[in-house]
Amino acid sequence: MLESAAFHTALVTLFVAGGAALMHLATGRERARLVGTLALLAAFSMLSVFIFLSWYSSGGLPFGVPSFDLIFLGYVLIGVLVAFDLRFRLPYLRSAVTPVAVGIFFLSLFAIGKTTVTTQGTEAVLRAHVALILLAMSLYLVAAIVGSLYLRTWTRLKTRGSPSATMLAPSPLERLGHAAHIARWLGFAILSLALLAGALYSASTGSARSFGKDPLVLSSIVLYAFLAFVNHARQTGRLSERRSSQMTLCSCIALFALFVLIRWGLHD
């Protein structure tokens, strides 16, 4: 009862934050940004209560239930957003990420009652594996959103003049590129730990064959290979930040759509 109340209160508050964020993106009004920030922090607090109650009532977080996986993904996405906003002070980041978080929580409403076969265990290593994958995916989402803001800023600067001129000194474009680069590397590092935890679990239980068929694992392997390629190409100068942002944004949309399709299309 308390869990449901906390979650639905957080959901209503998130819708308020999402509406304010869209208004800020459309009009640039500072008051809309302030309302969205306060609503987002209130929603994060209520979600913290919901996750604590879920852990307390069931003796562990119910990873493997798609609805909870999405709720946790949205929760850590908000946490990553707050951390990146405090660190980089990026323009429009909160307003761009908030509608995505609202959409993730909205999707969770349609996934109630559906579970997967391979992620229902109660082992601490397995729970850590799933939690780290979802944290890495939230960083990947932030990298894609920051990349879209980078492309938006780059396009605006190009219409006004040469965007390369803004790179001679610290600028919003430079900060956006640096933040996207950091998000990709952090996501790659955390995903490495997640796959290591998954390998340890499957080796200890002898479930490597069935574990490798889980859509969450398959999606994370595809994401791992992509991040390895982009990070290496960006580090060696073979990809510009603009091209990296384009690839991250397009692959994020495709991978997330594929994950949702496989998650609920094959595991009813």
| Residue 35, phi then psi, degrees to nearest 5 | -60, -45
Q: Residue 76 above 90 pLDDT?
A: yes
- Residue 29's domain comprises 2-265
- Tens digits of residue pLDDT in 85-101: 888 877 678 888 888 88
**What's the half-sphere exposure (Cβ side, CA atoms, 13 Å) at 154?**
18
- Tens digits of residue pLDDT in 219-260: 778 888 888 888 888 888 888 888 888 888 888 877 777 666
Confidence of residue 264 (pLDDT cuts 50, 70, 90): low
For the chain, give the number of residues.
268
| Residue 223 CB neighbour total at 10 angstroms | 22
What's the total number of domains in the chain? 1
CB 145 within 8 A of CB 85: no
CA 254 to CA 67: how far, in whole Å?
Answer: 20
| Residue 166 CB neighbour total at 10 angstroms | 17
Predicted model pTM: 0.80
